[in-house]
A and B are shown apart, each in its own frame.
Chain A
């Protein structure tokens, strides 16, 4: 009836017979159980009688039995775990706990279009597995590896559960738009890295980070920013496994703007020059409101992931269901996510045909923050109440100033993502050394956002509503051929791929105003003033076609050589520049395998590697940048044509650049890996030197002769140099107590080496491209940061602050002074001498420590950035006494002496180095609980402490993502959602 059951019984019978035979015939039989450090049995562990002949493996329950014969020692080894030797002293039962090795050399790493064993890698590739993930309330899976990988900088711009992370690999790689690494989930590149926020973190088993250009070159035109490969958990042959992972958490506001309290305001306004009691009385509504507290709350979160996996030798599967609900700390914000993921693998025809399928569906319901409210918090006097005595919201309206609580609570501001991803892959072993296969995938992200703003108290606005429906679709297909052949000690493998990618983005939106019944919010868009209805739609499409080949050779697992070439065509470019070629070559020497090191017992691994490659970047340009296209120039009035009084006009929507070509990154990497003292100390060091050529950048051009003041062009070169060190050590390795520590430090230096290029055949060059702008009232085109040759991107160019003058200067209406070229103090900022100041961090680092005592474990993780500077634009605006009494100010404004208009000088550029106690986890693993295969409970706190000289709310702000890098503003939509500290209680359970 059931062939599996029959086979299983037959096996057991054989095992029983064999065991009986040995048990009766031999004396040295030893039995026992092998478990991991969490007490879970480890099947498949090789047990060797050292000096004897016996070799066996543990069964599914981790049990083994071996005839040790005359052997004095048993050796236990298993892939991914540190081997252990136990001296025999006459005992017949030996139970062993194996610890996962700090550097598991045999671990399989996904390198793009294939896999490699870690020890065989020739490029700089980092691998992070589940046991090293950051715990906590995870709204984006990438938070799991924040600070863990040398060279990978992940920044959370704020505490918004719906905001995107900023991810940078090996520094600033480009100047425009796309700098986020390509993210590949189970072999399928995401259309947009931000789609990752829709994927459940608990389904992820590991991250492989391809860092150097020789490793990413296989992704050709999409590999310039590095590649992060995410592998989800898979089923394994064996008994059905049911697992649950979940947590409950609370989020609390961390940090403060240090605004005046109502009483401090009352004291401070008395001294405002020209103030009268009437004004004070008029603004003092008698309340004591902390507006930051008023818009925030304690957020509750919970996350639940239930997975079922299992299978047979020929069919494995895993299915998971997850649900997460995260309340934001800002009122009426949050994220709710439900997702389903299924993957399976089937082998048939004598394992010649392998078919893999995967499907995932995720729905994320988001309640968004209106970022204007963060500015209202600073603007509104603390003497205003949130609500009137009758419970309605207190209403008022002034320039960028209205009741933030009313605005956030009364508005509907939602967005729902529906992400569906399907993939299938079939591989057929044509010969024993050649596999041919094909893979296809479809990704469909539908985002529906909705907005409704009612008539707000005291504002007198018209109500308005909209809905936007956007799709990001892609279809990808490839045909691939893999070969693998050993000729004695020569191992040769290779890959050939043809790939086709088709991307379509479209959206549709409708909006209306003046609804009679506000209860309908945005659900009946047509019911407003018909004259105010607005519809719009957009569609774009682009294609990438690629041919790629890779060959990997090694001799005796000692000398390695990898070479790859990829040719990409993209229709984003003009006809002459459509195709780009991206080669790479890398080599490694595993010195440990040489005879002269074979017997050096303290050295477990030593390998040096070097690589060179060229990759491209096309994210910086939109599909039609090379074409002279016309878009709407607004409607115009044609009274002579009464049937269509306001037709649409057409005008060029860009300075088209038909000469655009691929931005190329030429990279060199050299490094070494080592393991010593039985792998108690291991690590890797990599140095890189990358040059980005033909930088795509939207830079400023003069009007005239251009229509628009900016143009996308290939304008220059930049250079990235860096050093990455990653170390792990088992400080104490005991059976009851162990302490392991690991850390990474990354030094990067980015320099612009040229800013000149060609447009329409004309050589254009510039010495200085303005980028970042000061934000705030009265600032417009007040550039703070620039691109200039010989400096880091986003270098500040600011006058040196020279103190304060007793009077306001009429030219600036400010009392701030600056040094001129002769070192004299001047009040006129246009006469000041400007200096370049590099704000970029010198290095960033992360340190993790884990202590295990029996079943108790403590882990804490510190990460930091050194040498970063931020322009404290928030302080620049709000720490200004002149805002009183109508707007609130920080406590700092009472003492800093600044009067009049704000101006930008280096006074506001502050040291923003920081060290964060990012997370601390206590966990307890229960040994034997009835009904459970394993049970682990943990408590985690995140974002607990920050050490920084920075005077702003948090030194970790938008960094390198936009033109506004290193500018810490909190206004005009650049407001940031305050950060939180989080405490969670979690459980990981496997059921029997």
Chain B
């Protein structure tokens, strides 16, 4: 009796504990969203697609920028003592001695392929939504075109890259494709989707690919076709360029308005990567180039990092003749060719520099107190384009090279500048049109007119700077592209196309022994992750 009571008590306790445990151990998610619960509204779909573009934020001034500019003739990052030595990676890029472990070679791959695989993921989701969103065809076309752009760059840089277009691809089946296969894929993908792309050029498609951006990709693909697959496609290049030229874009009045802090209203820019100091970080262009003490004139908070610069050889192709004006103790210069103002040269003075950079640049002063000094060494802060070393511990070498203020620094900002960074703009298309026509043997006054639009914009409409048909030569075009598009990530393929890529150049680059440097090696860490990958010719095989 007494015992049975106890058994009942025991039974109740056990029953309670078992019953309390019957609930399923389903995970509860709080501060993240489960994919299955997302993609419900148009705004959610837009927010789910946006990351396909955000991968581009690593492009304009990141590892990609290093690969597309430093092996060319217009950008060098010398080792200033231990500063910017960075295991010699910048030296390797400039002197064409990089290898499969060079950091930018490894990281650019991931930057670009993350764009590809994010798009593969998004496509696998949006095409299985029930009900299908009404804008699905347009979404597919836009994403596939963007993926083609990523593949275009992968093909341009690495040549024989794996072509993966399905999110659920067996990783063991991923192998190199040939450069030709990737080229063909890019061409077909753009052509197939062109018809569904938006023709809107307003802010509604800002920072996204429209139909004209797609023509820009095609133009780049065709113009360099001989380098990619060994066949020229100049008429196709001209046709693609014309589709853009006739779309209604127009050159901005001042060259620098395309790159200003608030450049979203440029009528010239076709495709940009939006940045914002508060909301979209990553534009560190100004900090990478300006000196630590450039906060005193270019107001870069905390100073720059004293890295990227250009040297005398490239700068010599700029027309730096100026008109000078004297105000008080200071003399200011205004460049005849606006574009010369993108590089700053000589002594820096502690007076806030004014926009645009082509006009009223403080070039000398009799007020010695205005001279900015390098805080670490006490030297006068004067940028000097003449240097033949690529690495030197000398204090004066900290001041070697001219710095870029093309993307005008935002006052009080160090990193994360708000200038949207340009991928495609009309001036590039006009120059491509003229070049393709010249190479095609069909250059006409139309092409000369396109080039002169650009030249006269740079020279504030002064006609004497216009070219004649006789001036329209490939050699002149190479340097006109240099002046107009400096550091805009096209120079590496330009110098390959114009045949000067392999040349010896200052500082300390010797003539390339062969052409294998024209594509980069497959990164060693990618081979570690995927042993199927085969190394490009000319590099140490895996």
Residues of A within 8 A of B (CB): 272-276, 278-279, 281-283, 395-399, 430-431, 436, 458-462, 479, 498, 500, 506, 531-532, 537-543, 545, 569-572, 578, 623-624, 626-631, 633-640, 645-653, 700-709, 759-760, 762-764, 766-768, 770, 777-783, 810-814, 828-831, 882-887, 900-903
Contact = CB atoms under 8 A, between A and B. Distances in A.
B395 A704 contact: no
6 smallest CB-CB distances across A and B, nearest first, come from A778-B87, A813-B88, A282-B377, A279-B395, A633-B51, A702-B530
Contacts of A759: 171
A569 B167 CA distance: 32
A648 B47 contact: yes
29 contacts: A278-B395, A279-B394, A279-B395, A281-B378, A282-B395, A498-B18, A498-B21, A571-B25, A630-B33, A633-B54, A634-B57, A637-B279, A639-B204, A649-B48, A649-B51, A649-B54, A650-B33, A650-B47, A651-B48, A653-B32, A702-B529, A702-B533, A705-B168, A709-B110, A764-B172, A781-B101, A781-B525, A813-B79, A902-B87
A707 B377 contact: no
A629 B33 contact: yes
B464 interface: no
A851 B195 CA distance: 92
Nearest to A889: B82
Contacts of A540: 30-31
B117 A396 contact: no
A578 B23 CA distance: 13
A777 B280 contact: no
B148 interface: no
B13 A479 contact: yes
B25 A652 contact: no
Contact of A780 (B10, B85, B107): B107
B302 A397 contact: yes
B6 A430 contact: yes
Contacts of A651: 48, 51, 54, 118
Contacts of B525: 700, 770, 781, 783
A631 to B, nearest CB: 5
A646 B530 CA distance: 37
B278 A531 contact: yes
A383 B278 CA distance: 39
Given A458-B375, A782-B101, A777 B162 contact: no
A500 B121 CA distance: 38
B393 A279 contact: yes
Contacts of B86: 777-778
B91 A649 contact: no
Given A649-B48, A810-B95, A462 B412 contact: yes
Nearest to B531: A767
Contact of A636 (B50, B170, B303): B50
A701 B87 contact: no
A705 B174 contact: yes
Nearest to B540: A830
B204 A640 contact: yes
Interface in B467-519: none
Contacts of B389: 274
B68 interface: no
A650 B48 contact: yes
Given A279-B395, A636-B274, A779-B87, 16 more contacts: A275-B393, A397-B302, A462-B302, A498-B17, A571-B28, A630-B33, A639-B203, A645-B279, A651-B48, A651-B118, A652-B35, A702-B174, A703-B109, A705-B117, A828-B99, A830-B101
A31 to B, nearest CB: 49
B225 interface: no
A549 to B, nearest CB: 13
B470 to A, nearest CB: 41
Interface stretch (B36-44, B178-186, B331-339): B36-44
B3 to A, nearest CB: 8
Nearest to B35: A628
Nearest to B22: A545
B27 interface: yes
Given A462-B301, A629-B33, A886-B393, A705 B167 contact: yes
Given A628-B35, A630-B35, A703-B110, A397 B164 contact: no
B187 interface: no
Contacts of B305: 399
B132 interface: no
Contact of B87 (A282, A633, A705, A901): A901
A882 B32 CA distance: 48
B26 interface: yes
Interface centre among B32, B57, B204, B525 (most CB of A within 10 A): B32
B38 A901 contact: no
Contacts of A831: 540
A629 B34 contact: yes
Contacts of B276: 635, 637, 646
Interface string B67-103: 0000000000001011111111101100101011101
A629 B202 CA distance: 34
A234 to B, nearest CB: 27
Interface in B174-218: 174, 202-204, 206-207
Contact of A532 (B36, B278, B292): B278
Given A637-B276, A707-B114, A885 B393 contact: yes
B424 interface: no
B360 interface: no
A430 B203 contact: no
A648 B504 CA distance: 48
Interface string B369-407: 000001111110000000001011111100000000000
B295 interface: yes
B116 interface: yes
A11 B88 CA distance: 89
Contacts of A272: 393
B6 A704 contact: no
Contacts of A645: 279
Contacts of B34: 627-630
Contacts of A430: 6, 10
A950 to B, nearest CB: 25
B106 A627 contact: no
Given A282-B379, A498-B18, A702-B174, A629 B29 contact: yes
Contacts of B301: 460-462
A778 B31 contact: no
Contacts of B95: 810
Interface string B106-128: 11011001101110110000000
Contacts of B164: 704-705
A273 B391 CA distance: 11
B280 A646 contact: yes
B53 interface: yes
Contacts of A630: 32-35, 38, 48
A634 B202 CA distance: 23
Contacts of A650: 33, 38, 44, 47-48, 51
Contacts of A397: 292, 302-303, 375
A543 B379 CA distance: 63
Nearest to B90: A778
B38 A570 contact: no
Contacts of B14: 479
